[in-house]
Structure 1
Amino acid sequence: MRLHVDQRHERVLELVRQRGSLRVAELAAELGVSAVTLRRDVEALAAQGRVQRLHGAVVWPGEGAVEVRERERERAESAEGVVIGMIVPTTNYVFVDVVRAAREAVAAQGGRLVLGVTGYVDAEDAVQAEHLVSGGAQGLLVSPSWFGGVPTDGQEKWLLEHNVPAVLVERSAPPGNPAAGLDRVRTDRAHGAAVAVGHFASLGHRKVTAVMQEGPHATQIAAGFQAAVQSLGLDVDAGAPSVREHGDYEASVDYLIDAVKKRGVTAALVHSDEDAIVLVPRLQASGIRVPDDLALIAFEDEVAGLADVPLTAVAPPMREVGEQAARLLLQRVAERKAGRRPGPRQHLDLLPELRIRSSCGGDSSAS
């Protein structure tokens, strides 16, 4: 979603304040705007005295010119020509923005991103990693094909065999697992599910359910959902089948019809928004009106706003996930090239936002 000019200015100030200085091209890539647009923003902010411009860089007021030039030189030298490998299960769905943002972040530092795709085939993870590292990748951004989002039965072993830094992207390893010591960046989907439940409660819903896919994010979403309903004292209708469990949507449709008509359910969290778009017309054909009889919140927000009944959705910050993961990996590569002791490993959980639309009733002004 394109930022309003005032929102963009605030984002520029936030990034420059955090990092002291940024190159104009780098900042433009982060914000997803042209260099021309970004220069206009910087000129406006500089005229107000809120930032400084210095030889192609945007500088926080008070930064010395010598220090800025030295920092920019070090950063350019450390990242110039770096090759980063990225392994993802697919380039569709949420990974579109993850890959694009990671590529832009690497390119902004003078490096190159090389992609490997596994098609959710577990054995292909190691094959792609070997190919990328032998081809010159100096670090790996990795979203392994771990079905539950975490490794089981030694699935992480290949990841620890390569002598290059690695950052897990939208995946994690449990405490005690050897891969738990890796850097990671992921969406806090448990938080997103809890926010969705809180929104249901704010609208007066007292009995809710969740219909979810099996897959890498199911455990996180279910944990956030359960924690929130317990905290808020809501009733839960349990036992929903996994979406598409039987190769079609009939089991989920039948479950929701009975939940509404026989058990008093008035709200449902559905993962994902693609599935919710399929379910809504089938429910309505069976006499279940959305949102009048059943309020819905979808999870992912890839296409939720395009539904016939625009869907309120939990929106993971996928661009930010890709960007932060790439920046963290570039930092690790730079530490290694400079022979510096690595900083503390980082587990970054980024919070999704709830985008309010029509499927919950109430205020649908957000998009």
Structure 2
Amino acid sequence: MRESAAERHDRLLSLVRERGTARVSDLAAQLGVSPVTARRDVEALAARGLLDRVHGQVSWPAGRGGGERRPAGGAAAAAPGSGPVLGLLAPSATYYFAEVIRGAREAAARAGARLVLRISDYRPEDDRARVESLLAAGAQGLLVAPGRRAPGDRDRYGDWIAGLPVPAVLLERRATPGSALDRLDRVSSDHRHGVVLAVRHLAGLGHRAPLLVARADSPTALAVRSGYAEALGALDLAEPAPVIDSVPSELDPEGFEDAVRALMSAVSSGAATAALVHNDVDAIRIVQRLAELGVRVPGDLALIAYDDEVAALADTPLTAVAPPKRQVGRLATELLVERLARAAGVPPEGAWGPDGPDGEEEPRRHVTLLPRLRVRASCGAVGPEAAGRHT
């Protein structure tokens, strides 16, 4: 596979970081590219402040640290007048994680930090290489959202994150209780609470326990499934039927049609009058297909979507559970910046010193944010947006 420019830049930065100073011609030979390509890469990286370039040579910028010279935490190595370099590993830069990244970017800008992004495309086997490239690019702290898909990915691919050489915050992900990863700082949404909000709202409208239509290909989907069973128990509701497995219509048209038909059958038989659907895109497509089959939302079926990315744009605006994605990114970044400041001996204003009040190490934090329910027309109740007001 042909190496991308970003991957080549990472290798170039790694070489300079290890050596301190290098000739452009030597870098070209090491990278296996032409001198013209190496020179163009060096100019691009120098323009971004990642390298210093003088008379055919490049060097690692003073104050950024490198290799074994980097102080613990890295924040003390930031150039005068600037904050640290923060690395962010995300499984995607679109849909759900676009807002998470936006929140992280805003918090980094307020702290004077520079945010560097890598995308794993939900390939957990590639996460480690992406993080190593962030470190090679000078990241002094890391925000890590592993690209998990299957239930076993958390234990199979996660342990190495706990051994990172710089402070790290786990982003919108949870760890196995008692594991090494569980000792890291983390900021995440409480999806179980989000499911309870949806189920309680539908029950309050007089519906029996809603059916769950959900994917099983992401941590959010798995958390929604787990939270569904807990919500039914907490609200003393009997499970109406097994969860209907949903799949992307563009990847598996037959599987998607099976899910729609199963939901239609439950509605037609009177077994269900309400449903919770993960995610927004699937919910919109399911509503469209149900309409073609003669099932109306909300007339025949009250429906709530999960994620609230595009739910409001459906023909019948969908009531949706909205995880606090932007706030997750913002708070995780603020926590990471604070950790870097403490490691550098410069704790935030109003905080205790580098350690706690008794001289003990500052405890790690697991911050959980609660989703909201945004009521629209699809559940049959009139909320602020259904009445034409913005929430």
Bin for the TM-score computed over the shorter chain: 0.7 to 0.9
Report sequence identity in percent.
Answer: 44
Identify which of 357, 361, 367 aligns with 2:380.
Answer: 361
1:189 to 183, 188, 191: 191
1:57 equivalent in structure 2: none
| AA partner of residue 243 (structure 1) | S
- 1:105-144 aligned within 5 A: 105-144=107-146
Counterpart in the other structure of 2:317: 310
- In the alignment, structure 1 residue 219 sits paired with structure 2 residue 222: yes
2:125 and 2:148 map into 1 onto residues whose CA distance is 10
What does residue 230 of structure 1 align with?
233
Tell me if the contact between 1:150 and 1:171 (Cα under 8 Å) persists in the aligned partners: no
Q: Give the alignment's Cα RMSD to 1 decimal.
A: 2.2
1:28-80 deviation line (CA, Å, top 9, x unaligned): xxxxxxxxxxxxxxxxxxxxxxxxxxxxxxxxxxxxxxxxxxxxxx9x99993
Counterpart code for 1:218 = A
Matching residue's letter, 1:165:
P
For 1:193 and 1:250, the matched residues in 2 are separated by 24
Whether contact under 8 Å (1:169, 1:322) holds in the other structure is: yes
1:12-23 aligned within 5 A: none
Query: What aligned pairs does 1:247-286 form with structure 2 within 5 A after superposition?
Result: 247-248=252-253, 249-286=256-293
Residue 180 of structure 1 and its aligned partner are, at CA, apart by 0.4
From 362, 365, 368, give the equivalent of 1:343: 362
Task: Please say if residues 357 and 363 of structure 1, whose CA atoms lie closer than 8 Å, have aligned partners that are also in contact.
Answer: yes
Q: Kindly indicate whether the alpha-carbon contact (under 8 Å) linking 1:89 and 1:120 is maintained by their aligned counterparts in 2.
A: yes
Q: How many residues align?
A: 293
CA 1:265–1:220 in structure 2 vs 1: closer, same or farther (change >3 Å)?
Answer: same
| Cα deviation digits, residues 247-305 of structure 1 (max 9, x gap) | 12201111101111124200000000110000002112212111111100000000000
The residue type paired with residue 236 of structure 2 is: G
Matched, 1:157 2:159: yes
Q: CA deviation at 1:224?
A: 2.3
Equivalence for 2:334:
327
For 2:289 and 2:134, the matched residues in 1 are separated by 45
Gaps of 5+ in 1: 1-73
The partner residue of 1:169 within 168, 171, 174 is 171
1:99 aligns with 2:101: yes
| Secondary structure of the structure 1 residue equivalent to 2:157 | coil
Superposed displacement of residue 150, structure 1: 7.4
Counterpart code for 2:198: A
> Per-residue displacement from partner, 1:79-106 (whole Å, max 9, x unpaired)?
9330000000110011111111111111
- In the alignment, the residues of structure 1 paired with residue 323 and residue 244 of structure 2 have an alpha-carbon distance, to the nearest angstrom, of 24
Contact 2:280 2:311 in 1 (8 A): yes
TM-score by length of 1: 0.75
Contact 1:271 1:298 in 2 (8 A): yes
TM (normalized to structure 2)?
Answer: 0.71
SS in 1 for 2:93: coil
SS in 2 for 1:210: strand
Q: After the TM superposition, which residues 64-83 of structure 1 pair with which residues of structure 2 at under 5 Å, given as runs?
A: 80-83=82-85
Contact kept in structure 2, 1:167 and 1:182, CA below 8 Å: yes
**C-alpha separation in 2, matches of 1:170 and 1:279:** 27
| Distance in 1 between residues matched to 2:209 and 2:244, nearest whole Å | 18
User: What stretches of structure 2 of length at least 5 have no aligned partner?
Assistant: 1-75, 347-353, 356-360, 386-390
Deviates more, 1:224-233 or 1:198-207: 224-233
Segment of structure 1 superposing worse, 197-206 or 235-244: 235-244
Indicate conservation of the 8 Å contact 2:162/2:184, yes or no: no
Q: Secondary structure at the match of 2:83?
A: coil
Distance in 1 separating the partners of 2:247 and 2:153: 24
| Bigger Cα Rg | 2
The answer on whether the counterparts of 2:168 and 2:184 sit within 8 Å (CA) in structure 1 is: yes
Find the partner of 1:87 among 80, 89, 92.
Answer: 89
Q: Is the Cα contact below 8 Å between 1:149 and 1:172 reproduced in 2?
A: no
* Structure 1 residue 337: Cα displacement: 1.1
The CA distance in 2 between the partners of 1:237 and 1:180, in whole Å, is 34
CA contact (8 A) 1:83 1:139 kept: yes
DSSP 3-state at the match of 1:268:
strand
Distance in 2, Cα, partners of 1:316 & 1:79: 35
Deviation at 1:194, TM superposition (A): 0.4
Q: In structure 1, how many angstroms separate the alpha carbons of the residues matched to 2:135 and 2:345? A: 20
Deviation, structure 1 residue 228:
2.1
1:358 counterpart SS class: coil
Pairing 1:241–2:244 present:
yes
The answer to whether the 8 Å contact 1:186/1:321 transfers is: yes
**Alpha-carbon distance in 2 for matches of 1:331, 1:171:** 20
| Aligned-partner SS, 1:159 | helix
